[in-house]
Structure 1
Amino acid sequence: MRKGVFVLCCAAAAFFAGCGSGSSNVVDGIYELTGIENPYNTSGVMLQGFSWESHTSSSWWNVIKNNAEEIKSEFEYVWFPPCSDSNSEQGYLPRELYDFDAKYGTEKQLKSAITAISPAKAIADVVINHRCGTTSWGDFTEPSFGTEKGVNYKAICSDDEGFKNEPAYMGKVPASMRGAEDTGESYAAGRDLDHTNSDVQNGIIVFLGKLKDLGFCGWRYDFVKGYAGKYVGMYNKETGPVFSVGEYWPTAGYSYLNPNDWGNDIKNWVAETASDGGQYSCAFDFALKGAINTVFGNKSTNVANSHYNLLADESNLMISNPKAAVTFVDNHDTGSTQKHWYTDPADVGAAYVLILTHPGTPCVAWQHYFGEVSDSVCDEKVPGTTQTLHDHIKYLIDLRKTLGITNTSARETLSKTSSLYAAKITGSAGEAVVSLGNTTYSCPDGFSPAYSGTGWCIYVKDKAE
């Protein structure tokens, strides 16, 4: 076949027809890590349906709606930004949870966008580690969580900064009217919620129910290291999402010399979500993100790539527990206009070759597929191909569907040296061998090159005569 061209010969995998009524209808066996049933079997790809500056649009919900035809033809899930009233434009400092007229548009526009993308499923960004007060630091409304300004702050963790730094109200409240100690890391920009408090738990469950009423059917939990993972499991059990993923970004910097520091933290969090009878959650594979940035470089262009063996390391959820892995190249924090920890732009295309051909649930960044509000990175050519980044990603998604690759597909490592990673992935409708590296990889017997670029190649199994 001609380089860069692959003729699709199988029908694309169909999306699920709707959100369903809960996890019990989609159980598929035993989840290896925790020993509980796995409700999140998926063959599809997630789209992060926003970037950091999306709120600057007159109505971001209308932008999603205007792109609905392409979205629902390629993606199974669409992760929406936080949709509640917030102290921050991006929505990550929620104030009144039940007010859905936000910076991204009105509640009516939100419902219309969710309807337009169907049968793709809307995943809500759920920010429940912390909240901001309505008129002061900790006076909550919509819902109140039982707080009463100047009197009762039991919904707020007793070690929250507000009890020291906001003396007018919170600082005067006795210890008996404060919550329990935080079950996770603190977050100074908002009041840390006491998830041991039944008023908080019940209010969050009602909030998730209201999100379901809007059309959401899954959750992306923000900053989950801020509270014990078992509460995510409890909220999942009570609300039955079709998909759940937590953002557990380990605190210390990633080290390629000891990738298990991150890998174990993330795996432990996933396991904790299933404790106490809870329904487990997937997690973003930040360990793999660390490996990707080490291999391909970050915050620079055309760095010398190395350490390809990290892509096969067991610290990555994609390798050790792909059912639980949501893989990604960049998101609104690591990339977009924030650019905190972005993958070398010259190798973004290669990184997508990895995640879109491998097990796990890949998540595509909006800016890479549709472009930023003020940037057209999606129109740039992928090195070594004639494809734009948008067309490259679309091609890989279609290939994934054609081969029947899912989050549980078998993967076999064929090479894991510092200069070359190669693996065979077996889907329900075909097989592929993927090589990434600085050294030449010989096409395996029975396979033919299907698509290639600088530093990577995809081979597909020859059809039987």
Structure 2
Amino acid sequence: MMKKLLVLVLFTFFMFSCTSNFVDDQVKQEDSKSEEVLLLNGPEKAYSGTVTTTDVLLQGFHWNTWKYGTWNIIKNNAVNIKNGGFTMIWLPPPSKSADSNGYLPGQWRNYESTRGTTAQLQAALNALNTNGVKPLCDIVINHRVGTTGWGDFSLPAFADNFKAVTKNDEWGQGTGNYDSGTNYPAGRDLDHSQASVQTEIKNWLNQLKGMGYKGWRYDYIHGFNGSYIGKYNDATAPYFSVGELWPDIIGDYYASGYGVNYHRQKLMDWINATGGKSTAFDFTTKWQLQLAVSRSEYWRMKDPNGKAIGAIGWWPQMSTTFLDNHDTGPSPGDGGQNHWPFPGDKLEEGYAYILTHPGTPTVYWPHYFDYGTALQGKIKTLIALRKEKGIRSTSTLNIVAADSSKYAAIINGNLAMKIGPGSWSPGTGWTLRTSGNNWAVWTK
């Protein structure tokens, strides 16, 4: 979700509070209604895919894509997306919206938008599915705007539009319960405890599935309790689900080791709240990897227990890794959001890390389609090697070096990688497959 929209600047990075201790698999946690949620070793039926597959996700847009005809761009590049090795693509919000990017939705079921027409959207979905690429829809259900006013919702309307809005919303006319998450002043905060709200969301998501969407990327998920995501996924059985939780970095920005556990704990808490039914974007890995490559502090990529420092070190099958997205990174044109960009001269190193490691990796559209054939070629090769060697979200990770000049690891027992200027080799029996400035990958 855009982090600088209208009056939302004050709310950037604000997240739910978290517990102080790491909650791993087979642990029980109470949600806001004091109901126990049993965590599983892996995803339930409402979320599937990456445990047994080598999925790679492409973010199919940037902040300015809508200016150039999003759906036509996607349709025209469907074959290129497939040939790049991508198995899933995250598409922007499809509904009519008060803003150009789709993050202030009004009529959920009206698909005439700045991204294109209903027919163009359907053509894009058809092209992707024909080429074996699963489309994920950007789902904005924390908030909504009215049709002509603040809360006159239509397409669909709720059984009671006033009761559908939280009682502490800025509108002042909501009669629902208090908000279960962070307030969003630019739109009406929906009360997800209302049966009518849940019903309309489930019906809409199933309509999207009928159009050809295969999964969900949930926006602004700190705005309501994560248990509702579990309900929506139970009702729609997405192939893949991922939530956007951007935890605040509290205190020392240059923290490492135990000092970053609170950050990834917030991601664990939200995944726990869903009942283990959705992955979350691994903002902790992004944070630490950016510092590692920009400051030559590769030691920070190994936690005190010898595991990966990000969410992938705690619950890899529920972690979706990335370097940039439409909020953090730059966009062609006017530069876009660019709130927290990954160092542009270190992108190859970054992708050498996430595309070889556990978790489900994501590639940002401009990095693949707009930054030149050299970077595109390296990303494509890394994806191909991931698939060739069967690297999955749950693959084993053995970190063999992590110091001031390098990070090296062996993944799945058959792929070795190194990032950083320091020298390292996996030894005999390995073949160098691809490399670049300060990085290399070997296989056997």
Q: Distance in 2 between matches of 1:255 and 1:32?
A: 32
Q: Counterparts of 1:133 and 1:178 in 2: how far apart (Å)?
A: 16
What does residue 24 of structure 1 align with?
Answer: none
What is the 5 A alignment of 1:66-465? 66-73=76-83, 74-118=85-129, 119-148=132-161, 153-163=162-172, 170=173, 178-252=175-249, 255-257=254-256, 258-274=259-275, 280-297=277-294, 304-310=295-301, 314-336=308-330, 337-371=336-370, 377-379=371-373, 388-426=374-412, 431-461=414-444
Distance 2:404 2:164 in 1: 50
- For the pair shown, the structure with the greater C-alpha radius of gyration is 1
Query: Would the aligned equivalents of 2:104 and 2:143 in 1 still touch at CA under 8 Å?
Result: yes
- Show CA shifts across 1:42-88 (max 9, x none): 3121110111101001x211111111111123211011100001011
Note the alpha carbon deviations across 1:339-387, whole angstroms, 9 max, x for none: 100011010111000011111111111101112xxxxx234xxxxxxxx
1:420 alignment partner AA: K
Check the 8 A contact 1:308/1:437 in 2, yes or no.
no
Higher RCO, Cα 8 Å, sep 6+: 2
Give the secondary structure class of the aligned counterpart of 1:93. Answer: coil
Letter in 2 for 1:204: I
Aligned-partner Cα distance in 1 for 2:434–2:265: 35
Q: 1:402 deviation in Å?
A: 1.2
Measured at CA, do residues 37 and 444 of structure 1 come closer, stay the same or move farther in structure 2, by a change above 3 Å? same
Q: Distance in 1 between matches of 2:188 and 2:249?
A: 23
Alpha-carbon separation, structure 1, partners of 2:180 and 2:190: 9
* 3-state DSSP of counterpart to 1:260: helix
Distance 1:408 1:340 in 2: 31
In structure 1, what is the Cα distance between the partners aligned to 2:186 and 2:248? 17
Cα offset, 1:392, TM superposition: 0.9
Residues in 1 aligned to 2:219 and 2:254: alpha-carbon distance in whole angstroms? 23
- Asked whether the equivalents of residues 217 and 242 of structure 1 are also in contact (C-alpha less than 8 Å), the reply is yes
For the Cα contact (< 8 Å) 1:292–1:311, is it kept in 2? no
Distance 1:211 1:311, change over 3 A: farther
2:56 aligns with 45
**Structure 1: distance between partners of 2:74 and 2:42:** 34
Runs of at least 5 residues in structure 1 that lack an aligned partner in the other structure: 1-29, 164-169, 171-176, 298-303, 372-376, 380-387
Distance 1:138 1:294, change over 3 A: same
The question of whether the paired residues in 2 share the 8 Å contact of 1:378 and 1:389 is answered with yes
Deviation string 1:175-200 (CA, Å, 9 cap, x unpaired) is xx611111111111111111111111
How far apart are 1:146 and its partner, in Å? 2.7
What is aligned with 2:14?
none
What's the CA shift for 1:112? 0.9
CA distance in 2, matches of 1:135, 1:86: 12
Q: 1:133-177 CA deviation, whole Å, 9 max, x = no partner?
A: 1111122111122345xxxx11111111222xxxxxx3xxxxxx6
- Tell me how far 1:444 sits from its aligned partner: 2.4
Structure 2 distance, partners of 1:108, 1:325, is 34
SS of 1:79's equivalent? strand
Structure 1 CA distance for aligned equivalents of residues 254 and 144 of structure 2: 32
SS in 2 for 1:293: helix
Superposed displacement of residue 450, structure 1: 2.3
Asked if the contact 2:293/2:420 (under 8 Å) is kept, the reply is no
Mapped partners of 1:256, 1:378: distance in 2:
34
What amino acid does structure 2 have at the position aligned with 1:321? W
> Is the 8 Å Cα contact of residues 181 and 222 (structure 2) preserved in structure 1?
yes
CA offset digits 1:87-113 (Å, max 9, x no partner): 110000101001011111111111111
Any idea what SS the aligned residue of 1:259 has? helix
TM-superposed deviation, 1:255: 4.9
Deviations 1:16-36 (A, max 9, x none): xxxxxxxxxxxxxx9767226
TM-score by length of 2: 0.84
Of residues 248-257 and 82-91 in structure 1, the stretch that sits farther from structure 2 once superposed is 248-257
- Number of residue pairs matched by the alignment: 389
The CA distance in 2 between the partners of 1:124 and 1:31, in whole Å, is 28
The one-letter code matched in structure 2 to 1:115 is N
Q: TM-score if structure 1 supplies the norm length?
A: 0.80
Of 451-460 and 305-314, deviating more is: 305-314
Tell me how large the CA RMSD over aligned residues is: 1.9
Deviation of 1:416 after TM superposition, in Å, equals: 2.2
For structure 2, which runs of at least 5 residues remain unmatched after alignment?
1-23, 28-38, 331-335
* 1:274-328: CA deviation from partner (whole Å, max 9, x where unpaired): 0xxxx6101110110111221123xxxxxx4224432555551222221011110
Deviations 1:378-412 (A, max 9, x none): 34xxxxxxxx1111111111111111111121111
How many angstroms apart in 1 are the aligned matches of 2:411 and 2:309?
Answer: 19
Distance in 2, matches of 1:281 and 1:454, equals: 35
- Cα distance in 1 for partners of 2:139, 2:417 equals 35
Change (3 A) 1:450 1:423: same
How many angstroms apart in 2 are the aligned matches of 1:330 and 1:51? 10
For residues 252 and 325 of structure 1, the distance between their equivalents in structure 2, rounded to whole angstroms, comes to 18
Offset, 1:37: 4.7
**8 Å contact from structure 2 (residues 302, 309) kept in 1:** no
**Partner of residue 40, structure 2:** 35
Paired position in structure 1 for 2:11: none
